[in-house]
Structure 1
Amino acid sequence: MTQARNHDGDHRPTRLFGPRAAAAGRLLPLLITFVIGTVTLLGGAGTAWLPLLAAGPALAASTHGPRGVLGVGLLAAGLGVALGARDGARGAELAAVAAALLAVTCASTLAGDLRSRRERVLADVRSVAEAAQHALLKPVPATVGPFEAAVRYSAAAAEATIGGDLYALVPTPYGVRLIVGDVRGKGLPAVGTAALVLGVFREAAYDEPDLLAVVERIERSLARNLGADDFVTAVIAGFPRPGLLHVVNCGHAPPLLVRASRRIESVEPVPPAPPLGLRALTDQTPGLQELSFADGDQLLLYTDGVIEARDRERAFYPLVEGLARHLSDEPARTLGAVHDELLAHVGGRLHDDAALLLIRKPVPAPSEESQLPSSLTVLAEPAG
């Protein structure tokens, strides 16, 4: 199953097997039954091969519902009795073959029914998970205020659509603000903490003029609700006015600032600050960094699951080099290429949640007047 969740496009998880593979799996029990019957018919082995007909209904339990399993089992039992009678088997032997095949069929039918019930429960759980994903990690539109944006998110847990990584991008009265974070731990507790952080951020981002006050609101909420060993690393950024970027880094991986010239800069935190939820253990407080953000510049925020992804030789994924290779003027295309390369680097399966958020300030299109040739410019003559 592909783990990526593209919040600019399709949200549906990819199936483990395609339609052709699923159809072949459903035909396999019948194929095995007919192969065993043919071998018995042509090989002249008497009743020696007949017990193998039980493989048909047994295999059908993993690919069919109760009716399908029962149909394959009855076919196998009828075929076994017919072949046994053809080879001169006595009544007791035929009864034993039929009883054995019917017993396997009954057990396989029950197993198929249980599997079907579990699949329905799993489908319901997936539906709830998809709803939770949309409520917690809301889709990021392609355009937010004056910016273009894109997100790629992958949950490491099997069959999961959400995990401990979090992100949000919201327009506010104080400019566009965004957060990318990573909750310590995995599973449902991490999801609960991520929901808490995002809820406080979305409310505080609209209320607080100062970005540091937004961070303080999140810190106070986590101090009341987190355990002693729990914390959240996060980068909170904002664009209070055109050309200006504010960044607050709380123990998180440094963002990458891509200039219009395609030079990539790592925004190291100055001064370093502890993760959210651990401020009580240290006297350090986060600082606000002010950076220029001109037309054509881009900002990439990401989580540790990206830069700590390893290949078979245990080498980390080189995010800066990957970003430089796939950089374009379309955030969705850039992140799509980087994410595909990331999955290829790890062999298709991430071992930690991974999130990427890229925001870009487009270059304004030149006005029609500026595109006129200088030879068409007409200067007015002074009145005589």
Structure 2
Amino acid sequence: MGDRAPTRPVRVRAGRLLLLLPLALMALIATTDILAPADIHLGPLLVVAPAITAAFAGPRATAAIGALSVVTLVTIGAARGVLTTENLEVQIASLVLIGAFIVVFAGVQERRDVELDRARTVSEATQRVLLRPLPTRAGPLRLASEYYAATVGAHIGGDLYAAARTQHGTRLVIGDVRGKGLETLGDAALLLGAFHAAAHRQSPLPDLAASLEDSVSWGLAEVAASDEGMGADIGERFVTAAIVDILDERPLLQLINCGHPPPLLLHEGRAAFLEMPQQCPPLGLGLGPGPAVANYPVTEFRFERGDVLLLYTDGLIEARDGDGRFYPLQERVEALASAHGTGGQDGEGSGKGNGGEDGSRNGNSGGVAAAGPLSPAELMRRLTEDLQQHLGGPVQDDTAMIAVVRADDERSATG
């Protein structure tokens, strides 16, 4: 989810060390000015000390350095015998005035930093509420997830995912809220709440999809009807989603795709998109007359032991490199799996391949079986590193990913 900000004690210690810089500059300027010829005056340069301090310290430390710079200027004037001259008096007054402005600026900056820290805390708390951590084990499945927000410093965005256990298997949803502004968080919360409320029921997958459609449509209608609603762009707000039901006792997964990018299935080293013969419209657009569940056809796919299922949002496949080329997901997942199978280091154990840490990317699907299935955590790590190399910079859109592996034996499934 990104690196956390340094703790306050670390920042305080770093700030104290940095205070040595303006102190050293004041000592250097004072010594040079005292030893310089009479027609050379370096005292005005002392303003750099509080200016530098304001870049990393608060208003109190900046005021202290500013006061010390004034004392240093007075000391220079006394040492050179010009303490009562009009020129030095003007320099002292100017230094005091500029120092005061710098202290005010430092106070404004500190207040802004406090507000950003509070916003970051609220963002993290909101993320924990909206995006509950996925379990690493769910029956015979192992799971891992990643989320990257496009907004710098943010921890949440318009993408979402969730998981729920039933008597017969595990249900997953991954989605992408379309719209503008912070109202997407409300839409995400609405869908996630509806999923957590309905997914545990033993109803068929089409019933779950219909329930989610009703909840999203109702929520958007409420927004449109409210006094503060964005009725003008309500037609642009919807949620694409892939809803998956993975059975415990049978090597099958059931999929309903509501306008979402197709999941990717890795089987024996070969990756393939799970294309639907009939794709449903995104949630929240309405499906017209007729029985609701009939509008959500289910497609079944084989999901055997050792297979890897990757669910993702369009931020992954729409990531562009410096030349404008999209991220080749299918090709890269196969390459990452091949590297693992030929001797790469697994996230939960060492593979027994013939290559080095990454192995040779020879596309030999048999190598995957030799090293064991690629763990979800390891796939997330390798895929994230590969995506960052492709982009050469930060993500350009919110990106969410879920990796699911059906464990190859009961011992690995139960831990």
User: If the length of structure 2 is used for normalisation, what is the TM-score?
Assistant: 0.79
| Pairing of 1:25-36 with structure 2 (within 5 A) | 25-36=18-29
CA contact (8 A) 1:57 1:104 kept: no
Aligned-pair CA distance for 1:222: 1.3
Partners of 2:26 and 2:288 lie apart in 1 by 68
Name the amino acid aligned to 2:235. A
Question: RMSD over aligned Cα, in angstroms?
Answer: 2.6
8 Å Cα contact 1:174-1:209 kept in structure 2: no
1:239 counterpart letter in structure 2: I
Shift of 1:255: 0.3
Matched residue count? 356
Q: In 2, are the aligned partners of 1:208 and 1:214 still within 8 Å (CA)?
A: no
**1:154-165 mapped onto 2 (5 Å cutoff):** 154-165=148-159
Q: In the alignment, residue 146 of structure 2 is paired with which amino acid?
A: R
Match for residue 244 of structure 2 among 237, 254, 257: 237
CA deviation digits over 1:220-263, x for unaligned, max 9?
A: 1111222222111110001234211001101110100111x122
Query: Deviation digits for residues 52-81 of structure 1, max 9, x if unmatched?
Result: 211211222221112211121112111112
**Is the alpha carbon distance of 1:145 and 1:38 closer, same or farther for their aligned partners in structure 2, counting shifts above 3 Å?**
farther
Question: What SS does structure 1 have at the residue aligned with 2:170?
Answer: strand
* More displaced stretch, 161-170 vs 92-101: 92-101
Would you say 1:335 and 2:328 are equivalent positions? no
Distance between the aligned counterparts of 1:202 and 1:174, measured in 2?
Answer: 16
Q: Which residue does the alignment assign to 2:366?
A: none
| Partner of residue 318, structure 1 | 328
Measure the CA separation in 1 of the matches of 2:58 and 2:15: 14
> Matches of 1:23 and 1:258 in 2, distance apart?
53
Q: CA deviation at 1:343?
A: 1.9
The change in CA–CA distance for 1:314 and 1:22 in structure 2 (over 3 A counts) is: farther
Whether the 8 Å CA contact 2:140–2:248 is kept in 1: the answer is no
Alignment deviations for residues 58-114 of structure 1 (CA, whole Å, 9 cap, x no partner)? 222221112211121112111112223333325122222222112222222222222
CA-to-partner distance for each residue in 1:33-61, whole Å, 9 max, x for gaps? 33433442344364632222112112222
The Cα of 1:275 is off from its aligned counterpart by 1.0
One-letter amino acid matched to 1:269: M
Contact 2:266–2:334 (8 Å) recurs in 1: no
One of 115, 120, 127 as aligned partner of 1:121: 115
Residue of 87, 108, 128 corresponding to 2:102: 108
Q: 1:184 aligns with which of 178, 183, 187?
A: 178
Partner of 1:166: 160
Q: How far apart are residue 332 of structure 1 and its match?
A: 0.2
1:54 aligns with 2:21: no
Match of 2:305 in 1: 295
1:143 equivalent among 123, 137, 148? 137
Structure 1's 349 and 23: CA in aligned 2 closer, same or farther, altered over 3 A? farther
Alignment of 1:240-255 (within 5 A): 240-242=247-249, 243-255=251-263
Q: 1:314 to 1:281 in 2, by over 3 A?
A: farther
Q: Supply the AA of the counterpart residue of 1:359.
A: V
How far residue 291 of structure 1 moved from its aligned partner, in angstroms, is 1.1
The worse-fitting range, judged by mean Cα deviation, of 315-324 and 29-38 is 29-38
Separation in 1, partners of 2:411, 2:135 = 25
Over residues 285-325 of structure 1, what are the superposed CA-to-partner deviations in whole Å (9 max), with x where a residue is unaligned? 33211111111111100001111111111111121222222
Change (3 A) 1:58 1:194: same
User: Residue in 2 aligned with 1:193?
Assistant: 187
Residue 82 (structure 1) aligned with residue 75 (structure 2): yes
Residues in 1 aligned to 2:6 and 2:240: alpha-carbon distance in whole angstroms: 33
**Distance change in 2, residues 1:145/1:277 (3 Å):** same
Pick one of 388, 393, 404 that aligns with 1:359: 404
Work out the CA distance in 2 between the residues paired with 1:145 and 1:366.
Answer: 11
- Residues of 2 paired with 1:286 and 1:118: CA distance? 49
SS in 2 for 1:178: strand
Q: Work out the CA distance in 2 between the residues paired with 1:96 and 1:338.
A: 62
Query: Which of 3, 10, 13 in structure 1 is aligned with 2:4?
Result: 13
In structure 2, the CA distance between the partners of 1:339 and 1:14, relative to structure 1 (3 Å rule), is: farther
d(CA) in 2 for partners of 1:231 and 1:45? 75
The answer for the alignment partner of 1:279 in structure 2 is: 286
Of 197, 216, 230, the match for 1:222: 216
State the Cα distance separating 1:26 from its structure 2 match: 4.5
**3-state DSSP class of the match of 1:116?**
helix
Question: Deviations for 1:320-340, whole angstroms, at most 9, x for unmatched residues?
Answer: 222222235211011111112
**Secondary structure at the residue paired with 2:402?**
strand
Structure 1 stretch displaced more, 179-188 or 300-309: 179-188
Report the secondary structure of 1:239's partner residue. Answer: strand
CA contact (8 A) 2:261 2:312 kept: yes
What's the counterpart of residue 269 of structure 1?
Answer: 276
* Length-normalised TM-score, structure 1: 0.85
1:377 matched to which residue of 2? Answer: none
| Conservation of the 8 A alpha-carbon contact between 2:287 and 2:295 | no
Cα distance in 2 for partners of 1:47, 1:185 equals 63
